[in-house]
Chain A
Amino acid sequence: MNNPLLDKLPVGICLVNEAYEIVYLNAFFLDRMPVELRGDALGKPLADVFPEQIKFLKRRIKSVFVLKHPSFSYWEQRPHIFPFKSSRPITGEETQMVQNMEIVPHKDIETGQQYACILIQDVTAQASYFKAQAQLAEELKAEHEAQRKLIRKLDRAQSQLIQAEKMASTGQLAAGIAHEINNPMGFVTANLNTLEQYAQNLLETCQATKKLVASHAPEHIEALEDLFDATHVELIEEDMGPLIQESKDGLKRVSDIVSTLRSFAEEPQHTWGYLNLHDTANQLVQLISTQFKRPRFKVTCEPAQLKWYCESASLKQALTNLMMNAAQSIDENGLVMLDIRQTGSGTVAIKIVDTGCGISEANLKRVFEPFFTTRPEGKGQGLGLSVAYSAIEKHKGKLAINSREGKGTVIEVRLPVLKEQEEDKSASNPSTESL
């Protein structure tokens, strides 16, 4: 057995007889053993030299003796079978040698004696490389996950940006149109007032003329009356007042709409402050009812004139989208109700109830997905609810939707009380800020 070649092998060899006594150790094995064990290990029972490992070793050696074929142990499950120092005591990161073990049966041809040959392979380098790889893979996976989250966030941000941009440009357009309407409205109103005065004067002149002719030239009175009849002076006299009043009323309505539009559209973006929810709801209904004539609208607010700390532009946007959806769901007669209620705990619950066509169960799961729409192509972008959702999220609120097809839909928005500091925090912390 004492072949000097065996001492040159890069493998540890330990030969054990059937009594579990060590009968041979090669140089590789000896060199890596703790110094105090080296001297008298040979000839000793394996249990005395490696008492901590003996249970495992005995089991494996027994299996080799019984089955007469090799037994293996892999570093991943059992990295340090023998208390061997790392092969790199100076530069290595591991202090203990990582080992693969193979126990093979060996039969001495001359004596017929059975042995178990323990072969130890130093895999410290491979193991640490493998571990580094595994760690790297883990890190990559985490990074990948983070990136996926970011991409999802980016996707959402992009769709909201598109919507915001559109809304901003529609807002600007509305404000511009409102301004343009206001100019002619100014002179039309002024002129109408003057015209009313002029018409009054003319009619009075007619009456005076009639009186003058009657007293001074009665022979001409008939001709004058014929002239008056021919030009329908009497009818003009009757009709003029109501006509002008109606026109004035119409102008008043136009100017009301224009001012609502302006107060709605010209809101500076992303400013937090107190918003009168009651007024906003009324303005909103006024605006929407000009576009949707069929449904009846009802606004309730408890307490009246409730003022709420919020980012008014986005909250108005959210309410507009929700109300528009409700109004659009009604084909014939129906009701859209907007109920604002402050609860006992101070939060506010905004309920939007419609008696419209409702949403099917399958679609209900998808309504908050950006670009999901059931309207024909070109009629809707499918961004209304997702924009509303993120606006409510920005206010740390919750949006719940309940619907029965053919019956109607109830949307409930719950907003917690936000203090000025909280909102500041959420604005400066990008992770909680909804993009």
Chain B
Amino acid sequence: MNDTVALSEDQRDALQELMNISMGQAANSLAHLIETKIGISIPKITAVTPDGLYELVSHNQQAYYTRQSFMGDIHGEVMSILTQHGLTEVAELLEYEQPLSENDINETILELSNILAGACLAGLSEQLELATNLQMPTLFAPQKSDFSKYDWQHSLVMEVKFDIHISSFTMRVVFCLDDASLTRLKSTIDELLG
């Protein structure tokens, strides 16, 4: 494995804890906005190759995908995987009127991704005192992209799962960081660990 990717156990624990807090904040904000309960999983932090990332995001056929890049002190991309099941109920919570048009569905997917991914990133940046800017999310079809053509070999992936209690809807958010950002992230964590 690439050295820049390897995190020490302490670094990993710290990052996991930071993620946990920011995810919790994200879930809270969303719960407040749509007035329903939201559950989160314990964040998983792994290093992956492009093939591994493909495996990670594409095993569920019945899913919608979005990606969104972020810039600032750290650079990377967030991929969100949303189940198709239960999306209608969530759209209703977001005040969309039934029946949903294709545009309504797409807008719901993009808005949900933006809210959750944005909240995670904002929480993480705030705790690490890093400035980040999230760009506009777009719909994405991993089946149509060739992951093996990506010019990176390893990436750090932070994965978390949200469940919205009112429906069977779940969503996974996968953060991918580039090498330079990883180095920056690690040094910031080290500072925090003192």
Contact = CB atoms under 8 A, between A and B. Distances in A.
Interface of A: 55, 59, 62-63, 66-74, 76-78, 100, 102
A77 B32 CA distance: 25
B163 interface: no
Nearest to A68: B122
Given A73-B107, A76-B106, 16 more contacts: A55-B95, A59-B95, A62-B33, A63-B33, A63-B111, A66-B32, A66-B33, A67-B29, A67-B119, A69-B122, A70-B114, A71-B111, A74-B107, A74-B136, A77-B104, A78-B103
Contact of B115 (A63, A73, A76): A63
Contacts of B110: 72, 74, 77
Most B CB within 10 A of own CB, among A66, A69, A73, A74: A69
Interface residues of B, number: 22
Nearest to A101: B136
A132 B121 CA distance: 36
22 contacts: A59-B95, A63-B33, A63-B111, A66-B29, A66-B33, A67-B33, A67-B115, A69-B121, A69-B122, A69-B134, A70-B134, A72-B137, A73-B107, A74-B107, A74-B110, A74-B136, A76-B103, A76-B106, A77-B104, A77-B106, A77-B110, A78-B103
B118 A70 contact: yes
Contacts of A66: 29, 32-33
Nearest to A58: B95
Nearest to A67: B29
A165 B94 CA distance: 70
Interface in B117-160: 118-119, 121-122, 134, 136-138
Interface of B: 29-30, 32-33, 94-95, 103-104, 106-107, 110-111, 114-115, 118-119, 121-122, 134, 136-138
A67 B112 CA distance: 12
A55 B103 CA distance: 17
Contacts of B115: 63, 67, 71
A27 B2 CA distance: 51
Contacts of B107: 73-74, 77-78
A71 B33 CA distance: 13
Contacts of A67: 29-30, 33, 115, 118-119, 122
A73 B118 CA distance: 14
A100 B110 CA distance: 13
Nearest to A66: B33
B136 A72 contact: yes
A72 B114 contact: yes
A66 B32 CA distance: 8
8 cross-chain pairs, A with B, having the tightest CB-CB distances, nearest first? A69-B118, A77-B107, A72-B136, A77-B103, A67-B29, A69-B122, A66-B33, A77-B106
A52 to B, nearest CB: 15
A102 B118 CA distance: 13
Contacts of B137: 72
B92 to A, nearest CB: 13
A63 B111 CA distance: 10
A96 B151 CA distance: 41
Most A CB within 10 A of own CB, among B29, B32, B137: B29
B74 to A, nearest CB: 16
Contacts of B134: 69-70
Contacts of A69: 118-119, 121-122, 134
